[in-house]
Amino acid sequence: MKAILASTSTLHDQEYLEYLIPELSKLYEPSSEVVFVPYARPGGISHDDYTKLAASAFEKAGLKIKGLHQFKNAAEAIKNASGIFTGGGNTFLLVSELYRNKVMQALRDAVLNGTPYLGTSAGTNIGGLTMQTTNDMPIIYPPSFKTLGLVPFNINPHYLDPDANSTHKGETRETRIKEFHRLNSQPVVGLREGSWLELSDNKITLKGSLTARIFQAEKVPFEVETESSLTDLN
Amino acid sequence: MKAILASTSTLHDQEYLEYLIPELSKLYEPSSEVVFVPYARPGGISHDDYTKLAASAFEKAGLKIKGLHQFKNAAEAIKNASGIFTGGGNTFLLVSELYRNKVMQALRDAVLNGTPYLGTSAGTNIGGLTMQTTNDMPIIYPPSFKTLGLVPFNINPHYLDPDANSTHKGETRETRIKEFHRLNSQPVVGLREGSWLELSDNKITLKGSLTARIFQAEKVPFEVETESSLTDLN
């Protein structure tokens, strides 16, 4: 397996995928055409517009992009892809579309068989066992919450620390994940913006400059340093 | 119909339900025993502990509480209740439990037939057409997102304005609701903490001291003043 699961596509004051461009050249074979999964449609933009955005960033790493919606048979396209990138947006929509287009299993098979994979935000969320630690609104009812399971835990992208000065009574991210653990047993990795998980040779490593927060059922959450192995977290 | 749908149970620096105590005396018949729906279990607390919390607040308005989990037949209990209160917590869990215990339809029938109803947070979310504008994590897979439809629109409780100083790239609440409107047509009322909807004589009125934010598909969101009628919003 060869994959990057990034918390976010974009850092503050940067362009789309800017901080990940050096990683793209390492992840994908030189000048390959990467299949882009635009299903999550951030802000509701069209598949075409979203694909153009991804293409303009990938160009900087000498890579081409073709949108999955441009293929006649989506599952075949995934099967034959030399590289795959799933962009962010709404995870409920992404997962619904992956099932509707019968791509979920093909995507899992492809990545497990070694097709290089990049996910950002929702595209990272689906790398976990289930999509149940997404931050997104349930704007559509998916046939299942089960996702790719590239890692033996769940991921919370865009992880946000509680704001000690907030007077808002909505749940903090930590409280939400605690509620998840009342009903579910798998660990959750809170991945801050700028962090990513590198999956390589069956190893999982935290990358980027920040620590990540690990949540396990019935345990006190803790931080792990960048370059830590998360291979045995399950 | 006689109902209060409140954004939050608790305001900053106040006790549980404190700001709503005067409303409770108006909503329910004096000294009635109100059936409490504890299914949403905020932070994963037990049904018993949650019921005790609700009881201690209701006592201040001279009202008794009995937890729905204490009845043998939940649907019958809802049907026979002289008043109902659904507390906050996780909306996915609440909706799952309402369906699992075959209470969703009984609850709808009871409130439409005039049983006084109070909802806070998740208990308010289910007053809308669907639960699809919840802020909660999908910690459990409910059999449907359809909810009570006491009002002809959706509600977003704990509505939060975008933080102009934020460098975080996760979606703002407004962006999330905009994404909802790419796939769904009903209006959404962004209900700030301290606001509630009063349903009385088939009229819907915004209450509390704040404005609310109204989102409609393909339209620019706008604010409505407190005491505004939302009866014709659909």
Q: How far apart are the two ends of chain A, measured CA to CA in Å?
A: 18
Distances (CA, A) of B28 to B4, B32, B194, B203: 11, 7, 20, 18
**How does residue B169 score in pLDDT terms, banded at 50, 70 and 90?**
confident
Q: What are the per-10-residue average pLDDT scores of chain A (234 residues)?
A: 96 94 95 95 91 96 97 97 97 98 98 97 98 97 98 96 81 92 97 97 95 96 98 96
Is A223 at the interface with chain B, CB within 8 A? no
State phi, psi for B144 to the nearest 5 degrees.
-165, 155
The secondary element (H helix, E strand) that includes residue A58 is: helix A47-59
**Residue B89's pLDDT is what?**
95
Query: Per-residue pLDDT for B164 more than 80?
Result: no
Query: Per-residue pLDDT for B167 more than 90?
Result: no
Is B137 at the interface with chain A, CB within 8 A? yes
Average pLDDT score over residue span B35-44: 93
Kindly determine whether residue B138 and residue A132, on different chains, have CB atoms separated by under 8 Å.
yes
Q: Collapsing DSSP states into helix, strand and coil, what is residue B178?
A: helix
ipTM summary value:
0.93
Selected for mutation to probe chain A from B139, B141, B156 (highest A CB count within 10 Å) is B139
Is A100 at the interface with chain B, CB within 8 A? no
CB pairs under 8 A between A and B: 119
Helix A104-112 vs helix A91-100: crossing angle, to nearest 10: 90
Closest by CA position to A31, among listed A58, A69, A2: A58
**Residue B11's pLDDT is what?**
93
Kindly determine whether residue A12 and residue B175, on different chains, have CB atoms separated by under 8 Å.
no
For B11-20, the pLDDT digits (tens) are 998 999 999 9
Task: Enumerate the residues of chain A whose CB falls inside 8 A of the CB of residue B43.
Answer: 175, 178-179
**Does B230 or A166 have the greater pLDDT score?**
B230
Is B135 at the interface with chain A, CB within 8 A? yes
A103: its two tokens? 């791509």
Which amino acid type is present at position A167?
A: T
The secondary element (H helix, E strand) that includes residue A50 is: helix A47-59
From A144's Cα to the closest Cα of chain B, the distance in A is 8
Q: Which of B9, B121, B181, B195 is catalytic?
A: B121
**How does residue B225 score in pLDDT terms, banded at 50, 70 and 90?**
very high
Query: Per-residue pLDDT for B182 more than 80?
Result: yes
**Residue A185's pLDDT is what?**
97
Sign of CA dihedral A158, A164, A165, A171: positive
User: What is the pairing mode between strands A64-67 and B212-215?
Assistant: unpaired
Selected for mutation to probe chain B from A13, A45, A97, A137 (highest B CB count within 10 Å) is A137
Q: How far is CA B105 from the centre of its chain?
A: 16
**Residue A165's pLDDT is what?**
80
Largest CA distance in chain B: 52
What distance in Å separates the CA atoms of residue A83 and residue A224, rounded to the nearest whole number?
29
Is A163 at the interface with chain B, CB within 8 A? no
Kindly determine whether residue B193 and residue A169, on different chains, have CB atoms separated by under 8 Å.
yes
Kindly determine whether residue B132 and residue A132, on different chains, have CB atoms separated by under 8 Å.
no
Kindly determine whether residue A182 and residue B139, on different chains, have CB atoms separated by under 8 Å.
yes
What is the residue extent of each domain of chain B? 2-224
Which candidate from B11, B44, B92 shows the least CB-CB separation from A178?
B44
Q: Mapped to the 3 state alphabet, what secondary structure does chain A carry?
A: CEEEEECCCCCCCCCCCHHHHHHHHHHCCCCCEEEEECCCCHHHCCHHHHHHHHHHHHHCCCCEEEEHHHCCCHHHHHHHCCCEEECCCCHHHHHHHHHHCCCHHHHHHHHHCCCCEEEECHHHHCCCCECCCCCCCCCCCCCCCECCCCCCCEEECCCCCCCCCCCCCCCCHHHHHHHHHHHCCCCEEECCCCCEEEEECCEEEEECCCCEEEECCCCCCEEECCCCECCCCC
State phi, psi for A181 to the nearest 5 degrees.
-75, -10
> Is-catalytic flag, B96?
no
Kindly determine whether residue A90 and residue B43, on different chains, have CB atoms separated by under 8 Å.
no
Query: Per-residue pLDDT for B134 more than 80?
Result: yes
Distances (CA, A) of A98 to A39, A122, A144, A207, B183: 8, 12, 11, 27, 16
Selected for mutation to probe chain A from B183, B186, B188, B215 (highest A CB count within 10 Å) is B183
Over pLDDT 70: what percentage of chain B?
100
**Strand A33-37's sheet: what is its strand order?**
A64-67, A33-37, A84-86, A117-120, A2-6, A196-200, A203-207
Task: Enumerate the residues of chain A whose CB falls inside 8 A of the CB of residue B90.
Answer: 179
B170: its two tokens? 């996760």
Closest CA in chain A for residue B218:
A44
> Is-catalytic flag, B232?
no
Is B164 at the interface with chain A, CB within 8 A? no
Q: Domain B2-224 is classified in which CATH homologous superfamily?
A: Class I glutamine amidotransferase (GATase) domain (3.40.50.880)
Average pLDDT score over residue span B19-24: 96
Question: Which residues of A participate in catalysis according to the annotation?
Answer: 121, 136, 158
Among left, alpha and beta (phi > 0; psi -120 to 50; other), residue B58 is alpha
